[in-house]
Structure 1
Amino acid sequence: MKKLIILLFVLNSLNTFSQGEANFWFFGQGAGINFNNGNATAVTGSSIDTNEGCASFSDANGNLLFYTDGIKVWNKNHLVMPNGTNLLGNPSSSQSAIIVPHPGNSSLFYIFTVGANNYNNNNVLIKATDGLNCYTVDMRLNGRLGDVVPNSKVDLSLGLNAQWTEKVTSVKGKECNTFWVISLVNNTFVSYKIDATGLINSPIPSPVNFYSNDPRGYLKVSPDGKKLASATQGNFGNLLLYSFDDASGKVANDGQFLISNIQQDGQNYGVEFSPKSSKLYCATYNSNTNKLFQFDLDNPNIASSKFLVSVNSGYRGALQLAPNGKIYAIVPPDYNNGTRYLNAINFPDELGANCNFLPNAMDLGSGRAMQGLPPFIASILLPVEITDGITTQNLNNTIAKRCLGENYQLTPINISGSSTYKWTFNGIPYGTSDALILNNLSFSNAGIYKLEVENIDDCGFRIVYKGEVKLEVYTPPTITKPSNILQCDDNNDGFFAFDLHSLKDTEILGMQSATVFEVVYFKNQIDADKGTNPILNLYTNSAFNSTDTLIARIQNIQNPICYETESFTAQVFESPNPPVTISNLVLCDSNLTGTDTDGFEKFNLKSKETEILNGQSAAKFTISYFKDIALSSPISNIISFQNTTANVQPIYVKIVNNSNPTCMVTKSFNIEVLALPVINSTFTFKQCDEDGIANGLTDFNLNEANAYLTLGDNSLTVTYHLSLSEANSGANMVTASPFSNAMQTTVFARIKNTNGCFRVAQVNLLVSSTSFDVNYLKIANACDNDGEIDGFRLFNLSENSNSIISQFPSGQNLSVSYYKNLTDAQLEQNEISQNLPYRNETSFEQTLYVRVES
């Protein structure tokens, strides 16, 4: 029993998988890549020249063993093995070959080949494909450089060679020491098992509904052995996703069509799964356009998760997962010419654009990638994942940027079984625990940390995992709570566009360098902590005159996870909005203050408040008044302020928002004392009693007093009132003509200038009963000798004036005026001019009326 245990132990210990098996790639025209240092490095010396299919394999430590194009097999020295020719693959077969180790013998390897149909220039089939075949390579032969074992070919095509596709893939079986090799013919997947005894030539068929009508395109199985993706090229091709059972080798007939619209998406060719088997990628082409799509296998509706990762000009090309966890993609310019560069999906398990597609990521130097990349057993590409105990991001083969003073740890995950750990720091042994804990990070902690994990899995396999993280340490910023922004609204619409960077950056940075740190602004704390949805442009407050809480995040420019946040508010305040011009506050001069001609009065400045506020709320603003433009001499008694400068004096006003005193506007207006009119303050208006009734009552035309009262100033306005109070108030004007002294013998004239200032004069109405003799009649005769006897003649009325005046006592300075009727004579209206001869208006005789007055 002890020997059996030791034997089993020895047998199992021979099987070592550490991802090193996939560390050398040889493909295309002399192209090669070495992944042994954790990065992809171009290598030269390759002998391969193939348009499509190829395969490579190395030992557990990453030492190259051999490679093939499906027809020839080259050893590590790039020489063809003695029997390594005429294999039945094809350089024009999509996958042509895949290499699988013998689980029970570390010296033996299987090369599985799939051929391709050969056509002439007229697209006529010359020779059909040779289907699926298997060859054995023994590394003990040819001086331990290896050779294809003579006569080791096994035809696995089930007699359907000519109908076989160009697809072949492999994955570890669920049972220990087993692999599955899967291929496709027509509508049937065929699986072959390899266990510790070697290849079991008992096919396990899995018929499905979809018939492969074009042999071209890649077949891949997911690293976890649960899914199978088949890309079929051609105008009627599809990308289908199936379930795979790594215990039985069966493919479920549950195919999901992921790409079937060839006209829209292109013809399917390359496929690959992400390391965690969470995403599927497919490369298509149509004419000269290459597209790369991603599908989320965790989405309940996988087809709906289709995401276009990139669009490039070029031909079809393969996708292949690499030991560094990246997926590399080829986009050659056309069928016959290759490309110097490989594109890369840097984080294949991340969703959408976060997968970080990078064009021209890998420079092949003198080599050229054509259309194919070497496939590998999917499960040997399960990477060791190193996380920081903070995020779930896999840090393997990345740069971890951390902050000075924080606690940090590196932990490998997804490793089952019994494991030993070896950490090194810059090449020096550093620890043997699974987690590497670095407390209070300093700049001296920066460097390269490498991890080697030796694991014995549940099947007794010795698996060596290798990982590497470059740690960089950066200075974190400091922050003090920024002051709030109190913003005066420039147009009082309740909104303002804040330039947060110009307003707050300097304050938040303080003495910290703007070349080392930057300030970013966010609308909420969640976004600020995540660094998502920053405020990129001007920020406009959320509601009318709102107070918005914002978050400032100061972060290290080279390492934004070194950050601090603080909140502040941005508030918009209504600005004072007085009219452009404030009208003068005027008072007429009076003797209430000094004399009524000194230009001084007492003003109620508060009476201007409504005009100054211009519709704004008095509760929101405070108005202050000043004597000087510097606002250094405030006016305390604003309701009774006596001007200090006669006649006109400017008053300066400051309007302030009560909630934000910085929202302030200054204006000015004038207070003005207006001059009163210059008048005769009393007048006795004499009128003769000429209405035929000698009762001392007659009608007056009060307007005749205007010239005397105004001293002849025609700019003054005169109205008449029955009382002094009414004259002062301007109420109840009386009709100036006719006005009978029977109503009142004293009237009051309100005499107003153009400024609206007035004085009041008293007018006494006096009626004289002296009049013509009741029988007086002056007759003016003239002969009708103007050549026409019609009863009309021109009269010089002024010739009669002296005779009329002689009827009155002398010394009265009397004047005579003539009228056509008594009413006009009484009211002194429509006087007949004495400057021109008067022609009688009725023939032969006309009565005129004479008015004599002093």
Structure 2
Amino acid sequence: MRLLATLALFLLSALALCAQRENNTWYFGHNAGLTFDGGTATAVRGPIFTAEGSAVWSDPVTGRVMFSTDGQTVYRADGSIMPNGTGLLGGFSSTQSALIVPDPASPLTFYVFCAGDLSWSTPDNPMLSVNVVDFSTDPAGVVTTKNDTLLLGTAEKLTATMHCNGRSFWVVTHDRDLPKFYAFQVTRSGIGAPVVSTVGQQYVVPPTARGGPYGQGMLKFTASGTRLAMASPFAERCEVFNFDAATGIVSDVQLLGTGRYYYGLSFSPNEQLLYASTWSLDQNVSGEVLQIPLNGAGPPVVVGQFTRSSILVSGGMQCGPDRRIYIADGGAVDVIMNPDGIGASCVYRDRAFTYTDPVRSYIGMPNVIESFLDPTLMEYCAPPLAAMILDTMVCVGSCITIDDRSTIKPTSWEWTFNGGTPSTSTEQRPPKVCYDRVGTYSVRLVAGNRFGFDTVLALVVVRPLPTINAGRDLVLCDSAYGRLSATGAVRYEWEPSSSMANMRVPDPIVRPFTTTTYVVHGWSADGCESVDSVTVVVRLAETAPIVYTADPVNGKAGDSVDVVIRRTTGTVYEPTTIRVAMPARALYGPRVIAGEAPVVERPASDTFIVYITDNGATDTVGIIRAQILLFSGTDTLEISGRSPVSCDSVVGQGAGITSTACGIMYRIVELNGQPMAIVEVTENGRRVLIEAQPRTTVELGLYDVQGREVCRTTVVMSERQAVIDLPCELPAIGYLRLRSDTMIITRSVILR
């Protein structure tokens, strides 16, 4: 789990808003718009119908439009008019009619500042007013406060930047008639009194000039908030000023151009160039877009021109989230593709976006907070906001990566990793931190700069690894089936998986053809992983190491039979002869008549085991099971050693030996010319694996050592294999009998 740890709540810090998706969609002009979904601008339609200024706010996380306004009407996301959202005091032809500023005290409240119209309305409406849009009571938004007057006698100029503390904003406007700037600080406490800066030349214009000397034209900040540009078309001036984001004071005017009707403005993303649009009052001369190098780097250069049909209805400019500059060009939108490029390398695309009447871009572009475009350029005057991203849960023996996400330009980092290795770091990106003990440990970051320090804490929970047991090693005969059994986890995965039925269960059935080591990965409920392995040894058939003979081959119940056993595995042993008396089916227990090997009697009507020792040796021969047709019935002789490690071949001489098996699985291929079942009996459990012909009905009976029935069940084979859960526990010693509807399968298996 990745966690963002910070002391500042999202959206309660102005900085937390930055570089998100607030400017994802623009509405402007006559129902025109652009959206930047996916990082590429696309033309869309919007609800706004105006000549110049507008503003739009989108959800900082999803990018979906929350509301928009042209300074006169507030629209909801669906384009409907917001309750109490009409009659605002902006204007149809106010350059920057509206500006949306988030309330630093609440992520659900927004201020809508409006600049009055000085060119369309009669009489002029030179004033700055404010409205409040609230989403706390209605998720679609309601205008709760409307048309509160902040200042009279102002121009159509309206812009904003972040305060250098990263937690509040400056909203700046200009006087209509005097060289005065008014900067209002917007904090968690509300809107403060304006900071007034008298700076720049007193403009003089003819009395017929609409809006007075400063009334029209744009006011724009750099993204860093350190410089402020102003265009005044009827004063034929373009100027740039310094701005102190700590005090709100505007100073140090620099005249960039005269003799043109300057209107639109936009700084290049690197803040080395200013782009300015101009009007023309001559029907034979088009308006232009100028590139003006700052700091005296060179003369202005014309990089673009408007179509003649766009005279006096063009020029609004705005830098987009894709770092391109968009320019209203009457019925279209022009684009500067590379605004940081000098001269023609800026790549001016005329009419990059066109609209179909009645949709038009007209004069304006939406008003945005420029510092949102690149908050890393801000010159902050506050301690940093410490924040980190890290894994809050880790398995013992593992390491985590911790990322610093502190903002407001930290210059120092002090990390403390309680219980981790390393235990401290002073790097912005600390090395991986490893934990070798189970427990809960703290991670602390103290981020600092010259204005102070901020601390954030996070907790890391170290979980134990599961104790995985893959079970004991197995020995199987060639082509035989076996079952693995792992414990200690809630989720398993085995490898290799090519020879098993299901790699994601704790007890898969396997059928390897060579000795194979299986590795099981096990995960705890917390996702911690351990591994273990088990080896399945596959014993291949050899050439007749053991030979059985029986005399007589045919007989009847109660007869005595000599069974002669010869073992030739490297050393030729003298044959061992055991004489047994086969009982009638109703009787119990075979009798040993002659022979040196002891017999363990397993009372049943047709099954017994003989233990055979090597001549002069103490070790026993490994388990060998063979079915010998001593009589015309289906009595079974099983000859076995005490150690289940041998899977030798068996060859019958004069006896109907049909197959061999070992371990707890046996396989009978044919009996009296009829196919038999493959049966696997799990130890200390209820499960039996049967392999038989599909659509065969098989009856399974379980008996104790006295031959008494323990339980019985019947299954119809839908496939070749079926796993049967018996309705009783398998005894330590007992017998399993099978009978089918098409053949008699009388097979007594010694259960261990």
TM-score by length of 1: 0.41
Between structure 1 and structure 2, the one with the greater Rg is 1
TM-score by length of 2: 0.46
Between Structure 1 and Structure 2, the one with more helix by share is: 1
The structure carrying a bigger strand percent of its residues is 2
